[in-house]
Amino acid sequence: MDFSFSEEQRVLAGTVKDFSLREIEPLAGQIERDARLPDDLINKMSKLGLFGMTVPHELGGSSIGNLSAAIACEQIAYSGTGAWWLLSFNNSIPDCINRFGTDYLKKTYIPDLCEGNFYGSLQFTEEDTGSNPEELKTRAHLEKNHYLINGMKRFSTFGARNGVAIVFTKDDAAKCSAFVVEKNCPGYEASKPWELIGNGGIETVDVYYKDVKVDTKNLFDTAGQGFDILLHWIAIEKIMQCAACVGIAQAALDEAVKYSGSRQVKGKPVNRMQGIQWTLAELYAKLDAARLSSYKAAYVADKKSDELHTTAAAAKLFVVPVTIDIVEKARQLHGAYGYTREFKIDRLSRSIIGAANIATSLEINRSIVGSALTKVKQ
């Protein structure tokens, strides 16, 4: 097997890493204090070609694939901010519209998502709803040439930012349907952002729909196919999340190497000690395996394999706990300073812990993989 990047992917990784260090890293503290990404960041990322990486050129994308998107996501996440969510959503949302939407939806909304004019959002979760589409309470009622949507959605990333959201509702047939809705339209109200532990700047809000009028043209290709769209989106989102966790863990390892090289004990850096070197070696080996697992899942997504859902779930099951462990051990290598907010490792620690619960919990992914295995054996 060839594990090397193409020349295009190597250039992409280097370019995005330079961008992350130059444009995002210096603002990380401000992003956390403001709980908001800089207004011009979306346009800067668009100019680098970081949006719509799986959609065709004629719709404004670059069509270079999920693996390239994962490589870019890893580098953006190195800052420890929530900026990687912007990259992820403005790839996964246009990807879903391109894969499942009508020509009207594709031509109307994908170019603006790729050009950085829109913030993409996805709205499925509700106050009392987990991952079961049968429990959705938000309703879309058909009236002549439009639907009226009523209900609420919880934890909508960038839900108050201008752009479009893929919204999941129960339709008149009590089936899960998906719509593309222009945010901040009449009847659309967003709460103040939730105060998150990490991932600064993603502005996660609750959204309330009060007789929001949505044209019938904004329904995805087929009524009642909403859950299929959700499953595809969440598989891609898990892959991008794994890549982001790898980027955060790489930053944590780099911070641990830097700190242990500067910390002196008896006139020598502590990284001269065998115990410290062994710990760093263990973290490196785990990180390498996590990176390969993430890349494999992105590769499977590009091949449009039927194994996508299982592979993405398995990647999350492995990558997330391993990278959380890497960051925690890197924090411990900072000694007492790891319990302060004076070092980057604090931001990295808080940003990665949510991965075990966000974009599906680890428990759900165990069920996905376990179910796939038992079906194969039957």
| pLDDT at 315 exceeding the cut of 70 | yes
**How is residue 132 written in tokens?**
């079961």
Q: Is 55 exposed, middle or buried (0-12, 13-18, 19+ CB in 10 A)?
A: buried
Mean pLDDT of the chain: 95
**Amino acid sitting at position 310:** T
| pLDDT at 378 exceeding the cut of 70 | no
Alpha-carbon Rg for the chain, nearest whole angstrom, is 21
For the stretch 136-171, what's the b/e string if a residue is b when 16 or more beta carbons lie within 10 angstroms of its beta carbon? bebbbeeeeebbbbbbbbbbbbbbbbebbbbbbbbb
Dist CA 225 CA 227 (whole Å): 6
Residues 10-39 have a mean pLDDT of 95
Residues 318-339 have a mean pLDDT of 97
Dist CA 43 CA 158 (whole Å): 15
The model's pLDDT over 170-188, given as tens digits with 9 standing for 90+, comes to 999 999 999 999 999 999 9
The model's pLDDT over 44-55, given as tens digits with 9 standing for 90+, comes to 999 999 999 999
The model's pLDDT over 106-121, given as tens digits with 9 standing for 90+, comes to 999 999 999 999 999 9
The model's pLDDT over 365-376, given as tens digits with 9 standing for 90+, comes to 999 999 999 985
Residues 6+ positions from 360 with CB-CB distance below 8 Å: 131, 234, 238, 313, 316
Alpha helical stretches, state H, 22-82: 28-34, 41-47, 66-77
The model's pLDDT over 122-162, given as tens digits with 9 standing for 90+, comes to 999 999 877 778 889 999 999 989 999 999 999 999 999 99
Residue 311 C-beta-side C-alpha neighbours within 13 Å:
21
Q: What does DSSP say about strands 264-265 and 204-215: parallel, antiparallel, or unpaired?
A: unpaired
The model's pLDDT over 283-302, given as tens digits with 9 standing for 90+, comes to 999 999 999 999 999 999 99
Dist CA 166 CA 41 (whole Å): 22
| Domains of the chain and CATH, by start | 7-117 (1.10.540.10), 121-224 (2.40.110.10), 227-377 (1.20.140.10)
Put residue 178 in one of left, alpha, beta given phi > 0 → left and psi -120 to 50 → alpha.
beta
